[in-house]
Amino acid sequence: MKMNQKLFLSIILAVTAATFLQCVTMPREEILFPSELVGTWRRVDQSLYTNTLTFTFDTLKDSSQNGHWKLVGVRGDAYTIAWHDNLSWRFTNTYKLVGNNLEIGGNNLGTGEDNWDGAWIKR
């Protein structure tokens, strides 16, 4: 191997190692729900379903489900959540505070109590 090739390879290795270390050691920006959402919410109209939603800063738990959702992305009022033990199962909802209510839209999780669309109020 020629001297120039050795120098070139050592530079490539050094840059690769530095990039890897930077990726591993740099703090990642945390993805969090706003503090106004943290707490337990119930449906404004409980005539059909009485499940509650409990937000922490980075998870969401539906009282009718075994397990929880992890917050994995935010863009404006759109929040992407993923199932705690299968992060490939994910969807995006909008969460907006309107007065004392939390308005949820875009829910494509399911039907019945698993569909969270509509107005919720903090307990």
Position 72 pLDDT exceeds 80: yes
Per DSSP, 5 falls in state: H
Residue 6: CB atoms within 10 Å: 10
From 44-48, 62-66, 67-71, 105-109, the region with the lowest mean pLDDT: 105-109
Position 54 pLDDT exceeds 90: yes
Q: What is the pLDDT of residue 16?
A: 59
3-state helix, strand, coil in the chain (%, to 5): 20, 40, 40
Q: Are 101 and 122 a contacting pair, CB within 8 Å?
A: no
Q: What is the dihedral of CA 15, 16, 18, 23, to 10 degrees?
A: 140
Two structure tokens written together for 24: 């591993």
| Mean pLDDT value of segment 90-113 | 88
What is the pTM (predicted TM-score) of this model?
Answer: 0.75
